[in-house]
Chains A and B, each alone.
Chain A
Amino acid sequence: DVKVTQSSRYLVKRTGEKVFLECVQDMDHENMFWYRQDPGLGLRLIYFSYDVKMKEKGDIPEGYSVSREKKERFSLILESASTNQTSMYLCASSPPGRILSNSPLHFGNGTRLTVT
């Protein structure tokens, strides 16, 4: 069974802090994704990666960066947290294949980040 683990369930940070959200998957998946979910907006893609050291911007990359130094780990970085980044953050992975394939995403349980 695929497991996607996000390091924190809840985080509270102050405006201007640097924030790291970590995600680890145990199924050797090549594709990994970071989304944020906000009420009424559904899931929005921030960044994704299809291989180690590779990254692609999603729909809302501003204010975020990512790191993929190892295949199993995909980190989301908020360089200087702002209140409008308060959200639920979801990491996901998917099996090898075309990045836009219909392979189901395996999601982590999410991190609720509050920026005060």
Chain B
Amino acid sequence: EDKVVQSPLSLVVHEGDTVTLNCSYEVTNFRSLLWYKQEKKAPTFLFMLTSSGIEKKSGRLSSILDKKELFSILNITATQTGDSAVYLCAVDPNDMRFGAGTRLTVKP
């Protein structure tokens, strides 16, 4: 059975800290892995990863995929209170499989 597991489920840090969010998966016919940031009504797309070892970067956020070990990490450096959100990992093996999400809280 296809599954996507995110860890930790929740995380509380202080501004300026660096965090690493994890996503492991077991799916057949893997096509891509996506990261979303969910703050309000619609998750915001962050990254789509299809190839191993190529880091995607956007400002303080970066992500990388390991297709051999079947996981991805999302790094956030110098965290800010605006980074507080639920971060969703999704894997697309013909349909969307979402992890449960990691709730990140950044305290001032």
Q: Which of A9, A43, A104 contacts B45 (CB 8 A)?
A: A43
Which residues of A are found within 8 Å of B95, using beta-carbon distances?
9, 88, 109-112
Rounded to whole angstroms, the CA-CA distance of A35 and B41 in the bound complex is 10
| Chain A interface residue count, Cβ-Cβ cutoff 8 angstroms | 24
Contact A102 to B38, CB < 8 A, known contacts A107-B98, A109-B97: yes
List A contacts of B40 (CB < 8 A): 100
Residue of A nearest to B43 (CB): A43
Describe A's contact surface by its main secondary structure. Answer: strand
A62 at the binding interface (Cβ < 8 Å): no
Number of interface residues of B (CB under 8 A): 22
CA distance A88 to B84 in the complex (A): 28
* Complex CA distance for A35 and B42, rounded to whole angstroms: 8
A-B contact count (CB 8 A): 55
CA distance A45 to B44 in the complex (A): 11
If A42-B36, A45-B41, A58-B41 touch, does A104 touch B97 (CB 8 Å cutoff)?
no
Expressed in whole angstroms, the minimum distance between the Cβ of B31 and any Cβ of chain A is: 11
- Docked complex: A76-116 residues within 8 A CB-CB of B: 88, 90, 99-100, 102, 104-105, 107, 109-112
Q: A100-B40, A102-B38, A102-B39 are in contact. Are A110 and B96 (CB under 8 A)?
A: yes
Chain B residues within an 8 Å CB radius of A107:
90, 96, 98
User: Contact string, B25-59, partner A, CB cutoff 8 A, digits 1/0?
Assistant: 00000000000101111111100000000000000
Task: State the CA gap A42–B86 with chains docked (Å).
Answer: 16
Which B residues contact A (CB, under 8 angstroms)?
36, 38-45, 84-86, 88, 90, 94-98, 100-101, 103
Can you name 14 A-B residue pairings with CB atoms under 8 Å?
A: A41-B45, A42-B43, A42-B45, A43-B36, A45-B42, A102-B84, A102-B86, A104-B86, A105-B38, A107-B90, A109-B96, A110-B96, A111-B95, A112-B95
